[in-house]
Amino acid sequence: MGETMSDWTISMREKGLKDLAKSFHTEKKEDAKRLENSGLPGFEGIRIPYCKFKRNNRKLMNFLEEYKSFTIRALPEDSNLPRRYEKRVRNFKGCAKFLKKNVKKGQDYKVYITKQEPQERSAIIISNDQEVRVEVGICDLDKLSHGGNYTLSCRIDLTKTGHLENKIECSKEGDKKDKETMKRALRFLELTRDSFNPLFIKGYFELILTRSGKIKFVDYKINQMYLK
C-alpha cells in the first residue's frame, strides 16, 4: 500500500505547480464508472459511502462472502485528500482494518471494493490518434505502472501505411506469452477489424492476464496528459 497519483498531485499543488497537477489529476470514481460502462472485461465490484461500511449492510456482506480476495480503495470526495488502496484483502475484518488506518473521522470517502485474481502478466496501453504504446511485464501491475521492469515494449505507429504488423516497432520483443497478451488486449480495444487502418479506443489502460488465462482491465483514464 503506497503512494497513488493523488499524492503526487497534492504535492504538486503544495509546491505551486497547479497547472501540472491539474494535467495529471484523475477522478478515480469516474475512471471506475467509465471502465464499467466501456464493455471491457473487468472485475466485479461494489461502491458504497464510507458511512455504510457496516456488518449489517447485507449487500456488502453478500459481496464479501462470495469471493476470496479483494482490492479495496478509499476514494475521497475532497481532492486535497489522498486516495488509498490495498490488495489481497480477504474479508470484512481486513477491509475494516484498512479503512481505520486510512480514513479519519469526519472525512468524506467512498469505499470501492473489487474482486481480485492472481495475475500471470500485467500490461499498460496508451492509445491516441498517432500511436499506441504497449508495455507487458511479469511483475505486479503496480510495479509496472511505476516504471517496473517490463519484458515487452512496443509502439504502433498509426501514421504509417501498410499492415498492422508493419506498424509495430519493438524496443523489447518479449516472449510468446507477452506477445499473446498484447494481441488479446488490443483486440478488446479495436474499433475496427481493418488491419491496414486500425482504430483503437483512446486512453490510458491498465490490465492483467490472470493465472486462469483471462484478460481483465483494471483502469481506464482519458486525461489529456495521456492523449497527446
Pairing verdict, β 84-89 and 70-76: antiparallel
- pLDDT tens-digit map of 64-82: 999 989 999 999 988 788 8
Indicate the domain borders of the chain.
Answer: 5-115, 119-227
| Distance (Å, whole) CA 144 – CA 163 | 29
Q: Whole-model pTM?
A: 0.82
Range 51-76 average pLDDT: 95
- Judge: domain 119-227, CATH 2.60.40: no
pLDDT tens digits, 180-201: 999 999 999 999 877 788 889 9
Q: Which residues pair with 215 in a beta bridge?
A: 209
Q: Within 10 A of 107 (CB to CB), how many other CB atoms are there?
A: 13
pLDDT band at 16 (very low <50, low <70, confident <90, very high): low
Q: Which residue has the higher pLDDT, 145 or 133?
A: 133
pLDDT above 70 as % of the chain:
86
Average of per-residue pLDDT across 125-143: 93
Q: What is the pLDDT of residue 161?
A: 84
Which CA distances in Å does 92 have to 57, 63, 132, 178?
11, 10, 40, 35
pLDDT at 19 over 70: no
Does pLDDT of 170 surpass 60?
yes
Cβ neighbors of 188 (< 8 A, separation 6 or more) are: 40, 41, 215, 217
- At residue 74, the 3 state secondary structure works out as strand
